């Protein structure tokens, strides 16, 4: 029999992370994890040092979204742990699989207000799927295996492992388990044959069906099956913000994005539909608007892996708790080749009458929508576009031709400003074969700008695009439309002063090559130069501050109250 070698908990953790398939670990050192960092010197995986723990968490998140693998992050106790809370919440609401390891003070000091002590398992409870507080070095390998299992099974999400310092130092012979055995957690559900028959029957009988696909479709790797079903049954497809890329928008069956800032034809089609096939969605308030008026003429089929989602916000005709890809693959052979020509013609009419569009407000001033068009044109729709949150996020959702899953990364549920820059770094590490463009506003960019250094040091050819309107645009837009133009604390630019900070100098100080564009005629050229560069680049585009995101269905309102300009 092979003798089992005794090693420290810290070494056991590193070995377990290797066994779990970790390729990149993001994080930041500190006193309570110094033993683990010592063992990282010889680890088989890469370590990427962030500049703030929130940045490291978003990097792991961006890595997970782009790759479909688990994003892994390691930070210290106390402030290191509390700094990842926003990153955890962001991943939790968007169902992103992550394992976050936090250091903890020694078990003997827990509860004594020791230096850099924080009750992490308590603090993170509302923003994680699960958390572990390790009690001995012997628990470490099995806990890591369980954490990876929980992060990826059922609805994906973040899991925290809090490891006291003495457990990192103690010796253990414990081995990484062959299989994970969680007594109470069995989130695999499958559709019954009766549910599949009913699904097929409802779809075959529908005259005005719409597929409405969300982030769960991408999480389930079901984009291929979705495309096949939609084309066979000739059903138009709308997606949520999180579902962008699940269906090729250059396909005539694509309706684009539904919801508050969605395409009018998508919202009209849902309003008029007699059947909605909802796949991996949660009927968020940003999509439904006023619930009592939502899709009143439609029967709803809802497929989701999470039993707590079905019938949560809308009452459904047929709820199926199962893996979206399995259901689509099974139902495909039961669905008849469709013919919905009259319905598709009506939709084509809406598309033509109400395209997503904008008009230049001031001659010679770049419209922010143009910036997104330039990125889409230069990258030919093949780049990974990572956004921050706010107006620029919505314009990116509207003006990129989304073609592939996992190429549009955005904080949908939490709406976390500061997500864009670090998430782009994670995405670039996950997909070195693809160009990564981060679209940020001047507000959000200032929240996590320090991470640009990481892109430069890792030699990542990311292009950070700052859509600079000198204001916190989305809140400013709401103040303009709904708060009598009282611009309370949303105008960042001071009259008579240059734009501050100077993003060119800031980028150069961080080691990135930077460009500033004010002239609409030069936009495409500069964007091309930046996107083709092998270095980390930043393009600051000074845009019209008065531009608003349209169309818009104000919060809690209905399709009939859509504002076009």
Partner 1 sequence: MIEAIQRLDCFVENKPGVLARMVGLISGRGYNIQALNVGPTEDGTVSRMKIDILGDTKVVNQIILQLRNQVNVIEVSARQIRKAK
338-377 positions binding partner 1, by CB under 8 A:
none
Helix (H, G, I), strand (E, B) or coil at 16: helix
Size of the site for partner 1 (CB under 8 A): 19
Smallest distance from partner 1 to CB 414, Å = 16
Is 165 assigned a catalytic role?
A: yes
CB 100 within 8 A of CB 158: yes
Q: Does 183 bind partner 1 (CB under 8 A)?
A: yes
CB 376 within 8 A of CB 556: no
Q: Does 177 bind partner 1 (CB under 8 A)?
A: no
Sole window of 20-28, 136-144, 307-315, 519-527 interacting with partner 1 (rule: CB under 8 A): 307-315
CB 214 within 8 A of CB 222: no
The residues pairing with 275 across neighbouring beta strands, listed in sequence order, are 209, 299
Smallest distance from partner 1 to CB 234, Å = 35
| Catalytic hit among 165, 208, 351, 435 | 165
x-or-dash pattern for partner 1, window 120-149, by CB under 8 A?
-xx--xx--xxx-x----------------
| Catalytic hit among 115, 201, 207, 317 | 115
Sole window of 11-19, 182-190, 273-281, 462-470 interacting with partner 1 (rule: CB under 8 A): 182-190
Smallest distance from partner 1 to CB 68, Å = 22
- Position of tokens 């030919």? 380
CB 435 within 8 A of CB 384: yes
Q: Does 187 bind partner 1 (CB under 8 A)?
A: yes
Q: Does 481 bind partner 1 (CB under 8 A)?
A: no
Candidates 549, 554, 524; CA nearest to 358 is 549
Helix axes 473-482, 391-399, angle to 10 degrees: 100
CB 28 within 8 A of CB 53: yes
Q: Does 185 bind partner 1 (CB under 8 A)?
A: yes
Smallest distance from partner 1 to CB 165, Å = 19
Smallest distance from partner 1 to CB 473, Å = 32
Is 116 assigned a catalytic role?
A: yes
* Minimum CB distance to partner 1 smaller for 121 or for 536: 121
Q: Does 51 bind partner 1 (CB under 8 A)?
A: no
Is 115 assigned a catalytic role?
A: yes
Print the SS3 string covering 427-496: HHHHCCCCCEEEEEEHHHHCCCHHHHHHHHHCCCCCEEEEEECCECHHHHHHHHHHCCCCCCCCECCCCC
154-173 positions binding partner 1, by CB under 8 A:
154
Two structure tokens written together for 240:
């949520």
Q: Does 312 bind partner 1 (CB under 8 A)?
A: yes
Q: Does 30 bind partner 1 (CB under 8 A)?
A: no
463 alpha-carbon distance from chain centroid: 18
- Among 68, 227, 307, 554, interactor with partner 1 by CB under 8 A: 307
The residues pairing with 77 across neighbouring beta strands, listed in sequence order, are none
Is 199 assigned a catalytic role?
A: no
Q: Does 391 bind partner 1 (CB under 8 A)?
A: no
Residue 34 main-chain phi, psi, to 5 deg: -60, -30
- Among 46, 115, 181, 308, interactor with partner 1 by CB under 8 A: 308
H or E stretch covering 550: none
| Interatomic CA distance for residues 468 and 367, integer angstroms | 11
| Interatomic CA distance for residues 93 and 116, integer angstroms | 28
CB 192 within 8 A of CB 303: no
* Minimum CB distance to partner 1 smaller for 136 or for 533: 136
Smallest distance from partner 1 to CB 126, Å = 6
| Catalytic hit among 23, 69, 116, 528 | 116
* Minimum CB distance to partner 1 smaller for 185 or for 478: 185
* Minimum CB distance to partner 1 smaller for 67 or for 313: 313
DSSP class of residue 135 equals: -
92-121 positions binding partner 1, by CB under 8 A:
121
Q: What b/e readout covers 310-322, taking b as 16+ CB neighbours within 10 angstroms? A: beebbebebbbbb
* Minimum CB distance to partner 1 smaller for 11 or for 146: 146
| Catalytic hit among 367, 394, 447, 474 | 474
* Minimum CB distance to partner 1 smaller for 130 or for 261: 130
Smallest distance from partner 1 to CB 331, Å = 24
Q: Does 379 bind partner 1 (CB under 8 A)?
A: no
| Interatomic CA distance for residues 322 and 32, integer angstroms | 41
| Interatomic CA distance for residues 194 and 198, integer angstroms | 6
CB 117 within 8 A of CB 169: no
Compute the half-sphere exposure of residue 56: CA atoms within 13 Å on the CB side of its CA: 28
Catalytic residue numbers read 53, 115-116, 165, 474
Footprint of partner 1 on this chain (CB under 8 A)?
121-122, 125-126, 129-131, 133, 150, 154, 182-185, 187, 306-308, 312
């Amino acid at each position: 029999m092979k003798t089992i070698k005794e090693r420290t908990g810290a070494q056991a953790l590193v070995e377990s992370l290797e066994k779990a398939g970790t390729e990149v670990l993001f994080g930041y050192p500190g006193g309570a994890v110094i033993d683990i960092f010592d063992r990282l010197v010889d680890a088989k995986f890469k370590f990427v040092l962030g500049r703030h723990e929130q940045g490291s968490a978003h990097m792991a998140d961006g890595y997970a979204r782009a790759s479909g693998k688990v994003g892994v992050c390691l930070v210290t106790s106390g402030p290191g742990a509390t700094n990842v809370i926003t990153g955890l919440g962001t991943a939790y609401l968007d169902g992103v699989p992550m394992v976050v390891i936090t250091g903890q003070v020694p078990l003997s000091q827990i509860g004594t207000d020791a230096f850099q002590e924080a009750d992490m398992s308590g603090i993170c409870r509302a923003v994680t799927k699960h958390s572990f507080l390790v009690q001995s070095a012997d628990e470490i390998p099995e806990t890591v295996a369980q954490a990876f299992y929980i992060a990826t099974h059922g609805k994906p999400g973040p899991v925290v492992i809090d490891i006291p310092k003495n457990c990192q130092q103690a010796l253990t012979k414990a081995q990484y388990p062959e299989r994970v055995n969680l007594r109470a957690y069995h989130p695999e559900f499958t559709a019954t044959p009766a549910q599949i028959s009913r699904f097929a029957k409802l779809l075959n009988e529908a005259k005005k069906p719409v597929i409405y696909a969300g982030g769960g479709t991408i999480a389930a790797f079901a984009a291929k099956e979705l495309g096949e079903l939609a084309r066979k049954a000739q059903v138009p497809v709308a997606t949520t913000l999180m579902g962008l890329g699940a269906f090729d928008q250059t396909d005539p069956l694509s309706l684009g994005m539904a919801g508050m800032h969605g395409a009018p034809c998508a919202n009209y089609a849902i309003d008029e539909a007699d059947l909605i096939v909802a796949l991996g969605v949660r009927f968020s308030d940003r999509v439904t608007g006023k619930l009592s008026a939502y899709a009143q003429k439609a029967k709803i089929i809802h497929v989701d892996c999470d039993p707590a989602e079905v019938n949560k916000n809308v009452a459904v005709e047929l709820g199926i708790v199962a893996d979206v890809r399995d259901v689509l693959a099974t139902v495909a052979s039961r669905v008849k080749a469709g013919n919905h020509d009259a319905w598709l013609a009506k939709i084509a009419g809406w598309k033509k009458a109400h395209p997503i569009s904008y008009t230049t407000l001031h001659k010679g001033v770049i419209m922010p929508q143009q910036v997104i068009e330039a990125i889409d044109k230069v990258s030919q729709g093949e780049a990974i576009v990572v956004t921050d949150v706010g107006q620029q996020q919505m314009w990116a959702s509207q003006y990129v031709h989304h073609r592939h899953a996992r190429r549009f990364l955005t904080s949908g549920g939490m709406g976390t400003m500061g997500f864009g820059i670090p998430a782009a770094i994670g995405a670039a590490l996950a997909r070195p074969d693809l160009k990564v463009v981060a679209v940020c506003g001047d507000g959000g960019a200032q929240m996590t700008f320090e991470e640009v250094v990481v892109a430069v040091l890792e030699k990542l050819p990311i292009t950070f695009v700052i859509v600079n309107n000198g204001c916190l645009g989305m809140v400013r837009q709401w103040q303009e439309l709904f708060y009598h133009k009282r611009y309370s604390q949303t105008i960042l630019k001071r009259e008579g002063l240059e734009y501050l900070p100077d993003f060119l100098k800031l980028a150069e100080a961080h080691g990135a090559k930077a460009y500033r564009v004010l002239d609409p005629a030069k936009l495409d050229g500069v964007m091309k130069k930046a996107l083709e560069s092998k270095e980390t680049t930043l393009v600051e585009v000074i845009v019209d501050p008065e531009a608003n995101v349209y169309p818009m269905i104000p919060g809690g309102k209905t399709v009939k109250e859509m504002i076009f300009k």
